[in-house]
């Protein structure tokens, strides 16, 4: 019977830039959008907590960075102590490998290596050449067996044999490479565990129209100028129940085979730039706090009952990665390493570890 460790963390892109002074850059860009009402742009009209964080932006940014550094180091210590034979990693694809040609609800990457270039700018935290390639080890045979296990359990999901499935010239999408990079935060403990990325279509109906991010917020075109298919919401991505089921099945498959495995979820929670009801300025902290209380109490199985509309209303698309993890860890109470709330740094972030056979 396989032993399985569960872990969850963030892949917040601004950390890659290295300068805490830039962490509120997403908010500052949104404040320049003509689609945001002028009264909403005035800090005097913001919630009191947001005004306070904005007033102390740089100080809070440095604190944000240090808490994340400590969170990643503790998660990595748990992984290193467990010594997994292979790692399954749920992460979203934001219009990177999957675009208009095909948007699968999930994709298991079955490849022996994943050459990727995670450092997109010379300003990265470690001063690494942005064109440097890191070849992350895969586990192709195991990935194929797991894909077959899903099919045998009447839940077939897509898989691919090439590391750059369709479009993204930098290799794996940022949900994967950012997370793996941050797990070596001090750049002294390279990631060597064979890793099987599992892409999740977290952005659902907005992955094309928003180009996997916030293109809609800056879009000033008239309806007549827009593409009637590509520039409007499409079908939903996988439902929370579907994500939860994928996690359940993966755990079932791994527990039936020998070995030691880790299942990881890489994402922040509610994203400001997806939270339309807040004019894209701050995340849905109340929704996330409710999910955190459930997680803290080992009640994450409740997440299977959420709806895609609830997820979209809360700007919480990427939370679906954590719902996949919750399905695998439905009967465990996690050790919470940290839960970091914010108003101006785009998203709440959580660090948690589900110990093997833990309760």
What is the tens place of the pLDDT at every residue in 115-125? 999 998 888 98
Tokens of 11: 């892949």
Query: In the chain, where are the structural domains located?
Result: 3-354
| Model confidence band, residue 358 (pLDDT cutoffs 50, 70, 90) | low
| pTM of the predicted model as reported, rounded to 2 decimal places | 0.96
- Write down the pLDDT at residue 155: 97
Share of the chain above pLDDT 70, in %: 98
- Write down the pLDDT at residue 164: 62
Looking at every residue in the chain, the average pLDDT score rounds to 94
- Write down the pLDDT at residue 50: 98
Mean pLDDT of 301-322: 97
- Write down the pLDDT at residue 210: 87
**Which contiguous run of DSSP H or E holds residue 276?**
none
Mean pLDDT of 271-283: 97
* DSSP codes of every residue in 64-90: HHHHHHHHHHHHHHHHHHH--SEEEEE
Give which of 85, 318, 304 is closest to 199, Cα–Cα: 318
167-180 tens-digit pLDDT: 677 889 999 999 99
- Write down the pLDDT at residue 211: 86
Give which of 193, 184, 211, 263 is closest to 15, Cα–Cα: 184
Identify whether the C-beta of residue 194 lies closer than 8 Å to the C-beta of residue 137.
yes
Residues 6+ apart with CB under 8 A from 310: 287
Counts for the chain of helices (H) and strands (E), in that order: 12, 10
In whole angstroms, what is the distance from residue 317 CA to residue 268 CA? 9
User: What are the residue ranges of helices labelled H in the chain?
Assistant: 14-17, 25-31, 38-41, 48-55, 57-82, 140-152, 174-182, 215-218, 240-255, 285-296, 308-313, 319-328
Mean pLDDT of 16-35: 94
- Write down the pLDDT at residue 123: 84
Measured in residues, the chain has a length of 359
Give which of 167, 168, 161 is closest to 196, Cα–Cα: 161
199-256 tens-digit pLDDT: 999 998 899 988 888 888 998 899 899 998 888 989 999 999 999 999 999 999 999 9
Q: Given CATH 3.20.20.70, say whether it is the number of domain 3-354.
A: no
68-88 tens-digit pLDDT: 999 999 999 999 999 999 999
- Is the pLDDT assigned to residue 151 strictly greater than 70? yes
Mean pLDDT of 137-145: 97
- Write down the pLDDT at residue 266: 98
Identify whether the C-beta of residue 236 lies closer than 8 Å to the C-beta of residue 205.
yes
319-333 tens-digit pLDDT: 999 999 999 999 999
- Write down the pLDDT at residue 65: 96
């Amino acid at each position: 019977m396989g032993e399985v460790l569960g872990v969850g963390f963030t892949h917040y892109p601004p950390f890659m830039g290295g300068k805490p002074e830039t962490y509120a850059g997403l908010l500052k860009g949104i404040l320049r959008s003509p689609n945001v009402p002028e009264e909403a742009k005035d800090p005097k009209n913001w919630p009191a907590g947001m005004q306070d964080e904005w007033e102390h932006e740089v100080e809070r940014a440095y604190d944000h960075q240090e808490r994340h550094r400590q969170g990643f180091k503790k998660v990595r210590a748990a992984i290193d102590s467990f010594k997994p034979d292979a790692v399954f990693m749920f992460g979203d694809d934001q219009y990177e490998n999957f675009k208009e040609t095909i948007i699968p609800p999930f994709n298991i990457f079955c490849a022996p290596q994943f050459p990727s270039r995670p450092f997109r700018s010379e300003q990265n935290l470690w001063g690494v050449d942005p064109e440097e390639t890191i070849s992350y080890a895969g586990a192709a045979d195991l990935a194929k067996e797991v894909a077959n296990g899903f099919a045998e359990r009447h839940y077939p999901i897509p898989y691919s044999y090439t590391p750059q499935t369709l479009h993204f010239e930098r290799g794996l999408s940022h949900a994967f490479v950012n997370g793996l990079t941050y797990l070596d935060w001090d750049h002294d403990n390279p990631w060597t565990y064979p890793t099987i990325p599992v892409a999740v279509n977290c952005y659902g109906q907005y992955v094309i129209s928003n180009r996997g991010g916030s293109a809609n917020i800056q879009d000033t075109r008239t309806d007549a100028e827009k593409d009637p298919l590509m520039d409007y919401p499409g079908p939903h991505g996988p439902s929370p129940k579907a994500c939860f089921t994928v996690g359940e099945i993966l755990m079932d498959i791994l527990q039936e085979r020998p070995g030691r495995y880790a299942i990881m979820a890489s994402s922040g929670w509610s994203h400001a730039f997806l939270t339309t009801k807040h004019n894209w300025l701050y995340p849905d902290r109340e929704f996330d706090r409710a999910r955190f209380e459930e997680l803290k109490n080992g009640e994450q199985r409740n997440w299977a009952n959420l709806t895609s509309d609830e997820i979209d209303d809360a700007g919480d698309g990427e939370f679906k990665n954590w719902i996949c993890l919750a399905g695998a860890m439905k009967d465990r109470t996690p050790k919470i390493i940290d839960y970091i709330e914010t108003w101006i740094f785009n998203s709440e972030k959580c660090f948690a570890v589900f110990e093997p056979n833990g309760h």
